[in-house]
Structure formats: C-alpha cells, structure tokens
Amino acid sequence: MTLRSRVIALVVILLVAVLGAGGYVWQTRASQARTIAEAVPVATAGDLAGLRNQPHVVFRSTALGAEYGRVAVVPLSAPDGPRAFTPASCDRVHATATDAICLAASRGLVTTYQALLLDASWNRTNELPLTGLPSRTRLSRDGTLVATTTFVFGDSYANPGQFSTRTVVSRTTGEVIGDIEKFTLTVEGKVVTASDKNMWGVTFVDDDGFYATAASGGRTWLVRGSLSARTVTALRGDVECPSLSPDGTRVAFKKHGDLPSGRWRLAVHDLKTGAETLLAETNSVDDQVEWLDDDTIVYGLPRETAGSASSDVWQVPADGTGQPRILIRDAWSPAIVRP
C-alpha cells in the first residue's frame, strides 16, 4: 500500500469514527428528549409565600421535564400533592423558615460550583465559597450557621481514604468560621494527624456544637465538635452522615458494618445510652437523612429502574419498627420546615 493510500484509509477511518460518535450523541439526545416529552408532568399549585408560613417540605424535584432539578415546596399535610416551584435549581438544598442553602454545579466546558444563600422569598442574599462537587449541606435550626461538604477528589464515600472532602462552616452573613477538617481530631484519647483525615455530614446542635463524620485509615467515627474550640472528638465508630433528632437525644446515620463496599444500612444512635437501633429500611441509603419528627426519618433513594435519573423521598420509623414507604415521589434532598 502506498503512502497516499494509507493516508486516504486513515482519513476514511477517522470520518467513520466521527460520524459514528456524532450519531451516538444525536441518538442519545433524541432518546433523552423523547423520555422528557413522554414524562407525566407533576401537578403544580400553591402560593410560595403562603407555604412558607405553614409546616412544609423543601426538596429538589426529580420529576422528568422542564422543572427537573428545581427546588419545590409542598405542605407537610399533603407532601405527595401538588408542588410549588421556586426559581432556584440545586443539586442539594436545605432550608429553615427564614432562609435556604442551595449547592449547585454548572456543567459546561468548565464546571463551576456555587453555594447560594436564599431568603424566604427565594432571592439570593449571599454566596459562600464552594470548591468541588456538591455533596452535603445543612443549616442550623435558627438559620445562622451553614455547613457545606464537597468532593475535591473522588466522587464516592464508598471507600474512606480514597476520596477527599472539604467541609466548611460559615455564618449566613458570609463570614467563614473554618474548614472543620483542620480542627483537632481526637480518637480514643489520641490526636489524629494522618494526611487522609476527612470530615463531612455536619448536623448542628446549637451555635457552637455540632456532630459530623470523621474518617481516617479506612475507619469512620461519629464526632462531637466545637466551633469555638476548633476541636472534634470521636464518640463511636462506623457512623456516616449523622442527623440530630429534633429533641436532641438521638442521631440517625448510615453505617457500613459488614456490607459490601459502597453499601450502608440506616440506624439510630441514642446519645445518652449508646444503644443502636437498626431501621426497617434494608435498601442501601447513601444520603444524610432528615427527621420528619421525633419518631420518623426521611431520606432519598434513587429509582431502581435502569437508566432512571429520578428518585423518591421515603420515610421509616426511627424505632426500628414498621416498613418504609414513600413520602414524596420524584424528589431528593428533603428539608422539613416548621415555622
């Protein structure tokens, strides 16, 4: 074969490859467009201002269609009924009666990330530093503190030590209090200084105390932290993404136990007695749960349907009894708000 023939053959191969890739992208986009067009629209109704004055749920809508990813609000009395949409689009959201925190990734040629504070009318009031893929966020109950966790290396909690997070606590005025991974971590009386130390999943106690997850050397712990002292102390092992109950007596969390990598079981830890209660949900839950009330927790679960981009918010009793059931369909990242 002559050099000219080889060049022509190479050009033909490249053209076929480009056309094939273009055809695949076109087919994929066409398929996505058909899926969205065929999706059953969710019912919309309600006045946002009126909803914020009554017990309600704030969440990320995952119903396929034009509103996918938008933050929605429903009354707590009818959580799976018509939803009112806000102007905000978020990957993770949390809210109180007075404000909300929205973590979002803007994906393009260069992906950028935002942590936006929103007021009760869903207007932007402040922007906080955010580096990396949005993962977890929480507001304190009085709405004065906010915690954000992002992945800055790796994108999964499946194997502690093989990812890196950044967890920052700030005031909603915009003042950064600090990266809690720089706080002094004490486990069984010894200070942990290992380079693989990570912390994530903050849940606030008050304007100084908080609980979170700490990880190092392939292990995880429930830690109690102090913002003023800049310290965190391990209380027990095998705890991830804690969430403090409304009465302040228990922490709901996900635990790995002896499950395969990347799978977790929901449980509740009694802060006074140390007793652990496994919950009736046996599906693996990779979420920081929220408390519906002192007796029930809620959490997001992706749809089991292959290729589905949707998810649902489920509820299960916190005492280990009962059975899981759906609270809100086509939803993710719920926040229970009682004015």
Q: What is the pLDDT of residues 229-239, one digit of tens each?
A: 999 999 999 99
Quick check: 319 pLDDT over 90? yes
Q: How large is the C-alpha radius of gyration of the chain? A: 22
The total of structural domains in the chain comes to 2
Spatial separation of the C-alpha atoms in residues 258 and 261, rounded to whole Å: 9
Question: Both 80 and 16 in a single domain?
Answer: no
Averaged pLDDT, 140-169 = 86
H or E element at residue 20:
helix 3-38
Q: Using 50, 70 and 90 to split pLDDT, how confident is the model at 11?
A: very low
Question: Both 21 and 158 in a single domain?
Answer: no
Position 330 scores a pLDDT of: 96
What pLDDT digit, counting tens, does each position of 20-75 carry? 433 433 333 333 343 444 445 677 877 888 898 899 999 999 999 999 999 999 99
Quick check: 108 pLDDT over 90? no
Question: Both 110 and 216 in a single domain?
Answer: yes
Quick check: 275 pLDDT over 90? yes
Quick check: 210 pLDDT over 70? yes
Report the CATH number at residue 77.
2.120.10.30
Position 307 scores a pLDDT of: 61
Look at 269 and 306; give whichever has higher pLDDT.
269
224 in Cβ contact with 202 (< 8 Å): no
Provide the domain limits for residue 27: 1-32
188: β partners: none
Exposed (0-12), middle (13-18) or buried (19+): which is 306, by Cβ within 10 Å? exposed
Query: Residue 228 — φ and ψ, nearest 5°?
Result: -70, -40
Question: Both 73 and 25 in a single domain?
Answer: no
Position 160 scores a pLDDT of: 72
Question: Both 15 and 117 in a single domain?
Answer: no
The CA–CA distances, whole Å, from 252 to 5, 72, 173, 213, 245 equal: 68, 25, 29, 12, 7
DSSP 3-state of 52: coil
Quick check: 332 pLDDT over 70? yes
Question: Both 10 and 52 in a single domain?
Answer: no
Averaged pLDDT, 257-283 = 96
Position 111 scores a pLDDT of: 84
Question: Both 3 and 129 in a single domain?
Answer: no
Residue with tokens 């990812």: 163
Position 3 scores a pLDDT of: 52
Spatial separation of the C-alpha atoms in residues 3 and 9, rounded to whole Å: 10
Asked if residue 290 is part of any domain, the answer here is yes
% of the chain exceeding 70 in pLDDT: 86
Q: Using 50, 70 and 90 to split pLDDT, how confident is the model at 161?
A: low
Give long-range contacts, CB 8 A cutoff, 24+ apart: 300-303. Answer: 300/331, 300/332, 300/333, 300/334
Question: Both 101 and 203 in a single domain?
Answer: yes
Averaged pLDDT, 296-316 = 89
Of 51, 132, 44, the residue nearest 335 (C-alpha): 51
Q: Using 50, 70 and 90 to split pLDDT, how confident is the model at 216?
A: very high
Q: Using 50, 70 and 90 to split pLDDT, how confident is the model at 4?
A: low
Exposed (0-12), middle (13-18) or buried (19+): which is 243, by Cβ within 10 Å? buried
251 in Cβ contact with 222 (< 8 Å): yes
Q: Strands 112-119 and 99-106: what pairing? A: antiparallel
Spatial separation of the C-alpha atoms in residues 131 and 73, rounded to whole Å: 28
Look at 201 and 49; give whichever has higher pLDDT.
201
Quick check: 324 pLDDT over 60? yes
Q: What is the pTM of this model?
A: 0.85
Quick check: 308 pLDDT over 90? no
Question: Both 253 and 106 in a single domain?
Answer: yes
Asked if residue 37 is part of any domain, the answer here is no
Question: Both 108 and 6 in a single domain?
Answer: no
Averaged pLDDT, 148-175 = 85
Question: Both 25 and 101 in a single domain?
Answer: no
Position 158 scores a pLDDT of: 75
100 in Cβ contact with 90 (< 8 Å): no
The strands making up 92-95's β-sheet, listed across from edge to edge, are 92-95, 99-106, 112-119, 124-128
> In whole numbers, what is the pLDDT of the chain averaged over residues?
88
Question: Both 250 and 303 in a single domain?
Answer: yes
